[in-house]
Amino acid sequence: MDPLLSRYGQSRKFRRYTVETKRNYATDIALFLSALWRRGKSWTEATEQDLNDYEDWRRYAVANPMPVTGSKWNRELAAFVGLYTWASQQGFVRRNPVLMREARGRSGEVIRVPEQRAIDARPSNVHWLTPRTWRRWLDVGLRGHTREGLPEPGWVGRLEDRNVAFVRTLTSSGLRLGEGGSLLTFEVPTRRLGGGRYYRGKIAAQVTRSKRQRTFYVASDAIGEIESYRDSSRAWVVRKAQRSGRYDWLREMRLVTEVTRGLRPRVRWRDRSGAVGERELGRLTWQERTLLFEEGPHGPEPLWLWLNEQGLPFHPHSWEGVFRTANQRCERVLTPPEHLRKDPHQVFAPYATPHSARHSHALFMLVVLNHLMDQRFGLTPEERRDFRLLYGDPWLMVQNLLGHASRDTTVRHYLAPVADLQLRSMLATAGDAMEAPMPELDAVFARIARESEGIQDLDARMLPSAGGAA
């Protein structure tokens, strides 16, 4: 074990990274150190030429079976910058192999960036599905439907109601994977009798990327899916865990005794030793949230909303596997056998990721907000200008929904491909009914998908040949 690397892992700089960043950076650094070791060098002896040669191998060498993209290389550079900046400041290396230069930031400020930074990196991986394509993906990938839209005989979905509820939550709210994946039971908005289509909730600051609390809105039917999950499979796995004594084996458990109200709610608990503790709800990490339990009628119950089959918290990164399995099933069921593993440009099945749910939510909200402002309210151009001066335009509204720091981020990274579309002219044929916007706007989204890149929509090949609707 390298004592200097151990000191870096214990440094204030490294400890401030998120768990995912620590894991990614550690992997990136380990690969570079292995390449140096094959040259007979330690990491403290690395030169600019070593880093240049490593970049050439990682990105361009024909002999490399898995070259990385510019975006991936920039992430690796960030890991090296962190390590060698710390080592230089501590006097452990005489020269930093990562050469830096000055550049202009987004706001015009002068910043320092690595000279080896890739200029062909994509700023974002925008990936959309239209509402009807999401419905198809849910039915086939998570509910076990066939190409004809009927339940597959003998289908046994593992926690199907949990998976559907989670995806519906992401697609209707725009929450990030880590935000939606770390919800506690009492953070889910409660539906009211005669309530509206959307309900408001709060995302705790510590689980957001910006580390700032923000409001989110989630569709009523998505909350209904969560309530069904809580009353069925979730209740069943909790009771099973209680009967087997699984919660009694947990070394760490914080039994919550109170959650205060106010602008900064605090969580108070008692641990297994009887010691009491408390912390501001917004400052709890997702790992600390997994330790929170409440006393139920049959014993302790997790406050973490999403549970696995053992009744234990289902960690946010584990959802990647759920999406991967659903994508594989969609491809297997919807792709004709003669086209399997053939031309990759002939796509017969939708492909989704947790973050594409966020992209899709942003696209949907932009279209609906434009429709509401330009048609349902019957605004003249002058009235529309006054309305936007008072409330902000749809881009600003979507920016707030997504929790972006600036409107430019929303336009550039999420919605730029449709920024120049004539939404008003397209929406003119969409009809006036907005009581259930997702089915009624299918034609609008189909046209947007035809005229823009990166948007998945159903076509004649992906529609069921008979039976249920998509």
Residues 7 and 43 in one domain: yes
What single letter denotes the amino acid at residue 142?
A: L
Give the confidence band of 14 by pLDDT, cuts at 50, 70, 90: very high
Provide the domain count of the chain: 3
Q: Considering 285, 308, 331, which residue would you say is the last residue of a domain?
A: 308
Of 270, 287, 308, the last residue of a domain is 308
Position 416 scores a pLDDT of: 45
Contacts 24+ apart (CB under 8 A), 158-161: 158/309, 159/233, 159/308, 159/309, 160/233, 161/225, 161/228, 161/229, 161/232, 161/233
- Distances, alpha carbon 356 to alpha carbons 174, 214, 272, 397, in Å: 9, 20, 41, 19
Check whether residue 65 and residue 104 sit in a common domain.
yes
Lowest-pLDDT choice from 87-96, 170-179, 198-207, 356-365: 356-365
Q: Do 262 and 326 fall into the same domain?
A: no
Same domain, 298 and 261: yes
Separation of CA 251 from chain center: 30
CA distance 369 to 346: 33
- What's the rounded Cα separation, in Å, for the pair 20 and 55? 23
Q: Is residue 128 part of a domain?
A: no
- 436 pLDDT higher than 50: no
* Higher pLDDT, residue 394 or 203: 203
Residue 143 lies in a domain: no
> Residue 122 contacts by C-beta under 8 Å, 6 or more apart in sequence?
69, 70, 71
- 294 lies in the same domain as 409: no
In a domain, residue 302? The reply is yes
Q: Are 211 and 333 part of one and the same domain?
A: no
Q: What is the pTM of this model?
A: 0.74
Residue 120 lies in a domain: no
Is 205 domain-assigned?
A: yes
Give me 249's structure tokens. 């084996």
Identify whether 239 is part of a domain: yes
- Checking if the pLDDT of 355 tops 70, the result is yes
Average pLDDT of the residues in 255-275: 93
What does the pLDDT average to over 9-19? 88
Residues 190 and 323 in one domain: no
Residue at 334 is within a domain: yes
Domain CATH number, residue 233: 1.10.443
Q: Please report where in the chains the tokens 């192999």 appear, as a residue.
A: 97
Position 420, amino acid: D
Task: Answer yes or no: do 300 and 324 share one domain.
Answer: no
Residue type (1 letter), 64: N
CATH of the domain at 60: 1.10.150.130
Is there a single domain that holds both residue 386 and residue 286?
no
Domain around 343: 319-456
- Give the range among 63-77, 208-222, 392-406 with minimum mean pLDDT: 392-406
Q: Are residues 232 and 204 in the same domain?
A: yes
pLDDT one-digit tens code per residue, 112-123: 888 888 876 655
Which among 86, 94, 98 is positioned nearest to 10, based on CA atoms?
86
* The amino acid at 254: R
**In terms of domains, do 71 and 47 share one?**
yes
> Is the same domain home to 13 and 98?
yes
Q: Does 293 reside within a domain?
A: yes
**Parallel, antiparallel, or unpaired for β 254-259 and 266-270?**
antiparallel
User: Which of 279, 308, 337 is the C-terminal boundary of a domain?
Assistant: 308
